[in-house]
Amino acid sequence: MKISSERFGLVVSACAVAGLLARGASAQSAPSVETTYVDAPATDPGRVEGWSPGLLLGGTFHLANNRSVVGQADGTGVSAGFVLEGSLDFNKAAHELRATLGAGAGVTRTPALDAWVKTRDALAFEAIYLYHAVPWFGPFGRFALDTQMFPGSDPRSAPTTYAITHADGTAEAITGTRLHLSDPFQPVTLKQSLGVFVQPVNRESVLVEARAGAGAQEVIASGVLALGDDDGTPEVEVSELSSYSQLGAEAVVEASGALRDKQITYKAGIAALLPIVYSDLDAGDERGALDLMNVDIVGGLSFKLVEWASLDYQLHVVRQPQLVDAWQVQNNILLTLSYAVGSKVPGLPPCVPCKPAPAKAEPAPAPVSTPAPEPAPAPAPTPAPEPAPAPAPDAAPAPAPAPDAAPAPAPMQ
């Protein structure tokens, strides 16, 4: 049986169309895959929930010995000191409490002066409570204390005359190689503040905080002597200090932070107290509120060399005109060997405690997926009709029957 070329082409085209339809149906029945993006949990390392204590203990030491060195005195020089930094922070919901304790002292002894000389002595405590009415703003209360831990004196290598002016106006002259200036924990400065704060930036790398409100200050300094030498006189001028109190308007701006996993820490701040009410001044002293404004500037930068050693710079500038009418400036550069625990340890910031997850409801049963119906089979192509058989040739007509033969004549008798 032969099939024409046109009919064969129709058969091939029908098979191709049926294959494409079957492929499209299977693609539609395959389940679609959706991509879900999950955000990383956001944390605020600037405020860790709960208590966060920290403590750092450090020491400094320097030893130098000279013999027959040009321009240097023969002998041994020794310097030693210690550093203590403690912190205790608490955060819960809108409540924040920060408490810090800092102490440091240093002494030195040189061949030029055979006596121990105090080069650094400070003890400071601060506690501040902040209520975050919103994350960056709210009221605050603060208390601070500043003093010295050890007695103060002025040693000299040769007898020196001290001209002392007492608080009551009397004068006194003393000659000697050492003058006692203060007892331990003298003078003492107490500060209280109450107002509002704003924290436009609060991250571990940088915390910017500004505070404003009412401030009070009490200075306990009765009996403390302060040097005020005049180079134009042979004597060393000394004045006796007096205690006083102030109440006025206070403003503070501070910035601090830690970088490179607490390998680098810094702080800077300035505070000003404009006294509105203050203790009586001495007779003849006509200074006003602006002249008596107190200024406190602090700065610090610390580089962690290794886990137990750091290079530190400290700056403290104080102006207390009603105590001493001069800028008091302290600069210290220290190579400190230290041991730290808690939040003072360099490294990754402490993890934010995880809150207990709420009880989960029983998961709903997974929906039963109904399989896609099988695609209907493509109809088989209609076979080409069988060609009609050729008609058989007509049969030859039967020959006509022969006529009956005449009967033979009867024989003659």
Domains in the chain with CATH codes:
50-342 (2.40.128)
Please answer whether residues 91 and 49 qualify as being in contact, where contact means their C-beta atoms are separated by less than 8 angstroms: yes
pLDDT in tens, the chain (413 residues): 444 545 555 554 555 555 555 555 444 544 555 555 544 443 344 577 899 999 999 998 888 888 878 777 788 889 999 999 999 999 999 999 999 999 999 999 988 888 889 999 999 999 999 999 999 999 999 999 999 999 999 999 889 999 999 988 899 999 999 999 999 999 999 999 999 999 999 888 999 999 999 999 999 999 999 998 788 888 999 999 999 999 999 999 999 999 988 899 999 999 999 999 999 998 888 999 999 999 999 999 999 999 899 999 999 999 999 999 899 999 999 888 988 888 777 654 445 555 555 555 566 665 655 555 666 565 655 555 555 555 555 555 555 555 554 455 554 44
Please answer whether residues 253 and 270 qualify as being in contact, where contact means their C-beta atoms are separated by less than 8 angstroms: yes
- 405: part of which helix (H) or strand (E)? none
Residue-level pLDDT at 353? 54
Please answer whether residues 89 and 51 qualify as being in contact, where contact means their C-beta atoms are separated by less than 8 angstroms: yes
User: Rounded distance, CA 278 to CA 269, Å?
Assistant: 25
φ, ψ of residue 139 to 5 degrees: the values are: -85, 160
- Partners of 164 in the β-ladder: 172, 238
Residue-level pLDDT at 115? 85
CA 187 to each of CA 49, 132, 240, 279, 289: distance values in angstroms, whole numbers, following the listed order: 37, 35, 12, 17, 23
Residue-level pLDDT at 36? 54
Residue-level pLDDT at 157? 87
Please answer whether residues 214 and 249 qualify as being in contact, where contact means their C-beta atoms are separated by less than 8 angstroms: yes
**Residue linked to tokens 């610090």:** 300
Residue-level pLDDT at 365? 62
- Give the SS3 label for residue 395: coil
Residue-level pLDDT at 305? 92
Residue-level pLDDT at 30? 47
